[in-house]
Amino acid sequence: NLDLSSNLLRELPNDLPKTIQNLDLSFNLGIDIEAIWNLNLPELKVLKLACCGIKNLPDTLPKWGNEIKEFNLSGNKIRNIP
């Protein structure tokens, strides 16, 4: 598990362990959603992105999309879901 919530992150560290199963990035306003979509985290099961100021989601399926079990986008003002 890795909790990076409320850290004022806009970008993610390049050296995230590929074995992460639970990643909390909540309350990081302006975090780069494209970078999150491209994360190479094959074991990711839970991703929390609550209250990150996200308005749009990318059009493609994220790399980790087939394995995710919980995806929290609460508190964002998402206009469309592709």
- List per-residue pLDDT tens for the chain, 82 residues long: 999 999 999 988 878 999 999 999 999 999 999 999 999 999 999 999 999 999 999 999 898 888 899 999 999 999 887 7
Q: Whose CA is closest to 51, among 13, 5, 3, 4?
A: 5
pTM of the model: 0.91
Q: Is 11 buried (19+), middle (13-18) or exposed (0-12) by CB count in 10 A?
A: exposed
Q: Whose CA is closest to 67, among 39, 42, 38?
A: 42
Separation of alpha carbons 71 and 8, rounded Å: 20
Separation of alpha carbons 50 and 29, rounded Å: 10
